[in-house]
C-alpha cells in the first residue's frame, strides 16, 4: 500500500513501524521520499491485511517525532 506522511522531509535509514491510533502495529514503512506534487512525504509500506484500506490512518515515530500517516491505494495519482 502507499502512505502519505504529514511532513515535508524524512530521513529513512531502515524500515519503520506503522501503528494505528491505539498503538497496534499495522505494518512497516519500507521506503519514502518527498513528493512535490502532494507537498508531503509519500512512501511504500507493507500493511497487514485487516488494515489494507485507503481510509486507514496511523502514526509512525522517526527522529523523536510522531508523524500522522494515511494509507492510500497505489499508484498515488
Q: pLDDT (tens digit, 9 = 90+) per residue, 18-59? A: 999 999 999 999 999 999 999 999 999 999 999 999 989 999
Domain ranges of the chain: 2-72
pTM of the predicted structure, to 2 decimals: 0.87
Classified by CATH at the fold level, domain 2-72 comes out as Elongation Factor Tu (Ef-tu); domain 3 (2.40.30)
Residue 6 pLDDT exceeds 80? yes
Judged by phi (left if over 0) then psi (alpha if -120 to 50, else beta), residue 8 lies in: alpha
Q: According to the model, what pLDDT value does residue 74 have? A: 92
Which DSSP string corresponds to 5-26? ESSS----SS-EEEE-TTS-EE
Amino acid at each position: 500500500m502507499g502512505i502519505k506522511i504529514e511532513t515535508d522531509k524524512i530521513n529513512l535509514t531502515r524500515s519503520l513501524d506503522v501503528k494505528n491510533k491505539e498503538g497496534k502495529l499495522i505494518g512497516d514503512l519500507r521506503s519514502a521520499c518527498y513528493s512535490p506534487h502532494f507537498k508531503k512525504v509519500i512512501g511504500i509500506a507493507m500493511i497487514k491485511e485487516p488494515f489494507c484500506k485507503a481510509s486507514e490512518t496511523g502514526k509512525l515515530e522517526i527522529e523523536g517525532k510522531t508523524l500522522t500517516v494515511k494509507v492510500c491505494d497505489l499508484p498515488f495519482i
